[in-house]
Amino acid sequence: MIDPFGRAVSYLRVSVTDRCDFRCVYCMAEDMTFLPKREVLSLEELDRLCTAFIEKGVRKLRLTGGEPLVRKNIMSLIRGLSRHIDSGDLEELTITTNGSQLAKLSSELSDCGVRRINVSMDTLDADRFKAITRWGDLGKVMEGIQAAKDAGLAIKINMVALKGVNEHEIIPMMEWCHANGHDLTLIETMPLGEIDGDRTDQYLPLSLVRARMSDAFTMEDIPYKTGGPARYMAVKETGGRIGFITPMTHNFCESCNRVRVTCTGQLYMCLGQDDMADLRAPLRASEGNELLSAAIDEAIGRKPKGHDFIIDRRTKQPAVTRHMSVTGG
């Protein structure tokens, strides 16, 4: 799959549910209205859709949510998709999770060929964790991370940098991650969906964070890549890696190899654009994949050059109205 700008699309992120057992302040309103179940793709439909993309050249597949591991019978989907790892058609099957279910599922994930996971965690302070996630339990997440480590999974911690909330914890988080063998990726808050707060108050440019960290640590750009948009640096003093995802201060569109499918089967060619293609209708219209394949090809043919993210203090409106939990991280 080659887009109009010559970029090969080889990375698919699929949201398997819009539901989550947390209510992070930058992601969701506390009183969320979730999608009716009839609109959400079944596990069988998700398998068929992912398989169609793999047959078209996708080599990395990431399951997201919401929180993917709260989807009922999600392990049956993951176990089914693992056949593409066994055949060599898929290089990597990964998960982005809040960690709440890892204590009970890490061993099974490893058995299904998952070798690497991302855990979203914005603080090491239990009270602040509760304030950010509203419903989360840091102790449970820490137990899950240890279970994942024991199961042999490589762990990357994703931390959204929030001004005045956790910016003073960035260095302690990096030191904790590196001491435990985890990579850390910092993420700028993105203008996706209506939330209860004001993102202009949350936004912390990572260019500023990086400059501050460079005063305290010896940091060197490295070519390390995981298939996503993070730019990585090696930290001499800790021996670990830190990544920066900067959709606001320095976008990464020129090398974008990703598309996203929502749990309702909407294909978004760009996270920061509203243009999408409905894959649910062709998926449900025929038992064969001809209609689905044609819809995917048409959509890739209009993948845009870049996104339109902006944090607008005047209107305070999100650049994109859908929540991140709908599109998937």
Please say whether the beta carbons of 97 and 118 come within 8 A: yes
Residue 106 is assigned to a structural domain of this protein? yes
The stretches of 192-289 forming alpha helices (DSSP H) are: 199-202, 206-216, 280-285
- If pLDDT is split at 50, 70 and 90, which confidence band does 249 have? low
Q: How many domains does the chain have?
A: 1
Residue 286 is assigned to a structural domain of this protein? yes
Residue 1 is assigned to a structural domain of this protein? no
Residue 5 is assigned to a structural domain of this protein? no
Secondary structure class of 299 (helix, strand, coil): helix
DSSP-assigned states of every residue in 158-210: EEEEBTTTTGGGHHHHHHHHHHTT-EEEEEE---BS--SS-HHHHB--HHHHH
| Distance between CA atoms of residues 325 and 114, nearest Å | 22
How far is residue 252 from each of residues 47, 258, 327, measured CA to CA in Å?
29, 11, 18
Specify the DSSP class assigned to residue 8. Answer: B
Q: Could you list the residue range(s) of the whole structural domain that residue 15 is in?
A: 11-327
What pTM value is reported for the model? 0.86
Residue 55 is assigned to a structural domain of this protein? yes
CATH of residue 173's domain is 3.20.20.70
Q: Are strands 231-235 and 219-221 parallel, antiparallel or unpaired?
A: antiparallel
Binding-site residues, in ranges, read 13, 20, 24, 26-27, 62, 66, 96, 120, 156, 190, 253, 256, 258-260, 270
Binding-site residues for GTP, in ranges, read 13, 62, 96, 156, 258-260
| Distance between CA atoms of residues 53 and 61, nearest Å | 9
Residue 184 is assigned to a structural domain of this protein? yes
Binding-site residues for S-adenosyl-L-methionine, in ranges, read 26, 66, 120, 190
Binding-site residues for [4Fe-4S] cluster, in ranges, read 20, 24, 27, 253, 256, 270
The pLDDT tens digits of the residues spanning 78-136 come to 999 999 999 999 999 999 999 999 999 999 999 999 999 999 999 999 999 999 999 99
The pLDDT tens digits of the residues spanning 195-231 come to 455 545 678 889 999 999 999 999 999 999 887 788 9
Residue 121 is assigned to a structural domain of this protein? yes
| Distance between CA atoms of residues 203 and 26, nearest Å | 10
Specify the DSSP class assigned to residue 66. Answer: S
- What's the mean pLDDT in 226-239? 91
More confident residue, 275 or 17: 17
Residue 6 is assigned to a structural domain of this protein? no
